[in-house]
Amino acid sequence: MQPRTNYAQSGDLNIAYQVLGDGPIDLVFIPSWFSHIELYWQNPYVERILKHLSSFSRVITFDQRGTGLSDPVPLSALPTLEERIDDIRAVMDAIGSERAAILGGTYSGPLACFFAALYPDRTSALVLFNAMARLLYADDYRHGLARDDLEDYLEATHRDWGRPEGLRRSSFVRSADVRRRLPRMDPQLQEFMTLYQRMSISPGAAVAIQRMNFETDVRDILPVIRVPTLVLHMRDNPNVVAEHGRYLADHIPGAKYVELEGSNPLWWYEGTEAAYDEIEEFLTGERRPPEPDRVLATVLFTDLVSSTERAAALGDRRWRDVVEGHDATSRRHVERYRGKIVRSTGDGMLATFDGPARAVHCAVAVRDAIRNLGLEVRAGLHTGEIELMEDDLSGIAVHIGARVSAIARPGEVLVSRTVKDLVAGSGLAFEDRGPHKLKGVPDEWDLYAVVA
């Protein structure tokens, strides 16, 4: 369940915040320079990280003033570091948090450092992930960004804010090699992220706040920080290079530095799981045992209709030929739509896809191709978190997909509401089949049939 959004009073402004978890540690998660805390929960990657953090702490997160659900601010009076620190204190006061660990990443790193230096009595620990003390180049800070590159980046930000072009040009580094190392998002995730940008902040405000962030420099306060500090950095981060993290660790007394394998500059996307394991161990003194690999995927189950009766009528040999024709046809279409067959079920299959729209198109293509062989197939699809095992899958999402397939009528491609909602705008059309109880699965599930 998405936590409730509340408001804290910071001077004349209202700061939107959420609290999740009830662990013994308070953890203030400072968002990046723009955010929308309610849209967090529509991004499965962000949701997974916040749930991880809230499994061992009480997580406090908020929208910084001027972004998301917090009060707007005029471009002529952008918030200073001091004012943004006041917002953190206001949120902590609103929920009765006397002392908390402070987590800042990339652009929120300087803010986290400043808070820890000013209020050590309210800071139990400081965690910095892919952060920096300063981003621009200086004679005594040579791994910073050149000012000409900054101007080009800000111009592109204003032009492409909230558009797919802006996501593809998300690096402020010109090097083509660096851009190739940026993570590639699924088209549907790209669509969501463009919405997230537009709902969080306007293009003009984005440029103004980014320019302010690029001018911030907290190097002089680093030696003053006297709280336990963990500095995490992705070794091949193409935006904020690892030298930034090493500088922080070298200049904050007693800081622990952990350099992680990977190149992802985003705090929430794939490849950052190890960072949150490090955070948990640093704050609790314990590291949880490794869990089965979990990923978000769309599962597709297909099942030949009346297979037992057909097998009896045709005999073993002819039925085996029919099943082999079914398997070859299914495999061809799964490969075409970039899926992976996990296993054959004898008279059907289980396949996974990294995009729900491709999964639906594949199911329709398999259904039509099998029909041309004189057979009928039913199909069911669901999108959710699955556990990867050696040669199989498990998890509630797999059970839901199997139950949806079992309910489908002959020749029908049936999907859960999750799939239907994720493929909005894809051109696929659905017919409401109403709510259903799925055996062994809590609650009722709205199901929809794909129509031509």
Condensed to tens digits (0 to 9), the pLDDT of residues 259-269 reads 999 888 888 87
* Domain shared by 277 and 299, yes or no: no
Cα–Cα dist 353/373, whole Å: 25
- Write the DSSP string, 408-423: SPTT-EEEEHHHHHHT
For the cut 70, the answer to whether the pLDDT of residue 173 exceeds it is no
pLDDT band at 174 (very low <50, low <70, confident <90, very high): very low
What average pLDDT score do residues 340-359 get? 87
For the cut 80, the answer to whether the pLDDT of residue 397 exceeds it is yes
For the cut 70, the answer to whether the pLDDT of residue 180 exceeds it is no
pLDDT band at 18 (very low <50, low <70, confident <90, very high): very high
* Domain shared by 137 and 199, yes or no: yes
Cα–Cα dist 438/444, whole Å: 7
For the cut 70, the answer to whether the pLDDT of residue 169 exceeds it is no
Residue 189: predicted pLDDT: 80
Which residue reads 């400072």 in tokens?
A: 30
Residue 429: predicted pLDDT: 93
Which CATH number belongs to the domain containing residue 337 in this structure? 3.30.70.1230
* DSSP helix, strand, coil percent of the chain (3-state; round to 5): 40, 25, 35
Q: How many CA atoms does the CB half-sphere of 128 hold within 13 Å?
A: 36
* Domain shared by 338 and 258, yes or no: no
Residue 323: predicted pLDDT: 75
- Write the DSSP string, 110-125: HHHHHHHHH-GGGEEE
* Domain shared by 301 and 423, yes or no: yes
Q: At 370, is the secondary structure helix, strand, or coil?
A: helix
Cα–Cα dist 177/197, whole Å: 26
27, 100 contact by CB (below 8 A): yes
Residue 24: predicted pLDDT: 94
Which residue reads 């289980």 in tokens?
A: 350
10, 62 contact by CB (below 8 A): no
How many CB atoms are closer than 10 A to CB 278? 18
For the cut 70, the answer to whether the pLDDT of residue 55 exceeds it is yes
The residue out of 284, 303, 335 marking a domain boundary is 284
The tally of domains found in the chain comes to 2
Residue 175: predicted pLDDT: 46
Residue 395: predicted pLDDT: 86
For the cut 80, the answer to whether the pLDDT of residue 49 exceeds it is yes
Helix (H) or strand (E) holding 127: strand 123-129
For the cut 60, the answer to whether the pLDDT of residue 179 exceeds it is no
Q: What angle do CA 419, 272, 386 make, to 5 degrees?
A: 35
Which CATH number belongs to the domain containing residue 119 in this structure? 3.40.50.1820
* Domain shared by 254 and 222, yes or no: yes
* Domain shared by 242 and 313, yes or no: no
- Residue with the bigger pLDDT between 44 and 57: it is 57
Residue partners of 309: CB distance under 8 A and separation at least 6? none
What average pLDDT score do residues 18-23 get? 95
What average pLDDT score do residues 360-381 get? 90
Cα–Cα dist 402/299, whole Å: 9
Residue 156: predicted pLDDT: 85
DSSP state of 24: S
For the cut 60, the answer to whether the pLDDT of residue 235 exceeds it is yes
Residue 314: predicted pLDDT: 67
Q: Are strands 229-234 and 123-129 parallel, antiparallel or unpaired?
A: parallel
Which of 328, 327, 322, 329 lies closest to 306 in space, CA to CA?
322
DSSP state of 39: G
The residue out of 284, 302, 322 marking a domain boundary is 284
Residue 221: predicted pLDDT: 93
Judged by average pLDDT, the poorest of 15-29, 176-190, 323-337, 386-400 is 176-190
Q: Does residue 428 sit within a domain?
A: yes
pLDDT band at 26 (very low <50, low <70, confident <90, very high): very high
Residue 365: predicted pLDDT: 93
DSSP state of 252: S
Domain that holds residue 134: 6-284
- Quote the distance between the C-alpha of residue 118 and its chain's center: 32
Residue 3: predicted pLDDT: 94
pLDDT band at 1 (very low <50, low <70, confident <90, very high): low
**Beta bridge pairs of residue 26:** 58
Calculate the average pLDDT of the chain. Answer: 88
* Domain shared by 207 and 334, yes or no: no
* Domain shared by 24 and 136, yes or no: yes
HEC assignment per residue over 170-228: CCCCCCHHHHHCCCCCCHHHHHHHHHHHHHHCCHHHHHHHHHHHHHCECHHHHHHCCCC
For the cut 60, the answer to whether the pLDDT of residue 445 exceeds it is yes
* Domain shared by 108 and 257, yes or no: yes
* Domain shared by 279 and 184, yes or no: yes
For residue range 64-104, list pLDDT tens digits in order.
Answer: 999 999 999 998 888 888 899 999 999 999 999 999 999 99
What average pLDDT score do residues 295-319 get? 78
What average pLDDT score do residues 9-25 get? 96
The residue out of 232, 259, 284 marking a domain boundary is 284
Residue 290: predicted pLDDT: 60
For residue range 97-131, list pLDDT tens digits in order.
Answer: 999 999 999 889 999 999 999 999 999 999 999 99
351, 398 contact by CB (below 8 A): no
